[in-house]
Amino acid sequence: MAPASEAEPARRLSPDARRQQFIEVAISLLAEQGIEGLDLDEIASRAGVTRNLIYHYFPGGRIDLLRVATEQVGTELASQWQTDPELPIEQRMEANFQRVIEHALEPSELWLAYRKGAAAGDPEVTAQQEQLRASLIAVIAQNHFGTAEPSPLAALALCSYVDFAERALDQCRENAVDRDQVIALLAGTLLEVAKTVRGLTGEGQR
């Protein structure tokens, strides 16, 4: 394959479309190869452009692109969570579990990029990861305690639950554990966590 500098002229895209192309290629590489595989030469090759064009859109190069890519991953994963209080809690839980399970057990590029992005070690990327986690905890708290701002004990419990759930979903996929049993385990564990927190703090009780 010819070097990027000798490649045919890149397909003409609008600035917004070109920027988004770089982000999507970065997410794909992050999902495939982790942080180590996020190489600007490879991104340029896949986009059919020269490496210098990436710097036009991301002056900080690799780290700028990584930060924007992980931010988009978080935004997409955190969207469309069900918190409608008019729906039974079981229905909300099922909708939300199905959403995350579709990502985790496929696994989707978004899920892999999210999990592998945690190894970046960059403060801004870490902050984005924590923001996604905070969004998820707020959704769970809204559904189980009626507030998106849980008490410190409830937040601690839900944060620990999210750690457990993410690892369980990865283990389910990697070790061919029965999907329905894992879903039942996660649902039952979450209900018990919420019940225990309410018993200790009265959170969400009227």
Q: Is 206 within the bounds of a domain?
A: no
Mean pLDDT of 30-59: 93
* Cα distance between residue 62 and residue 90, in whole Å: 43
* Cα distance between residue 3 and residue 30, in whole Å: 22
Determine the structural domain holding residue 93 and report its residue range: 82-201
Torsion of CA 173, 30, 75, 183, to 10 degrees: 0
CATH number at residue 40: 1.10.357.10
The answer to whether the CB of 54 falls within 8 A of the CB of 40 is: yes
Number of domains in the chain: 2
Residue-wise pLDDT for 55-90, tens only, equals 999 999 999 999 899 889 988 988 888 899 999 998
- In this predicted model, which residue has the larger pLDDT, 152 or 117? 152
Q: Same structural domain for residues 63 and 110?
A: no
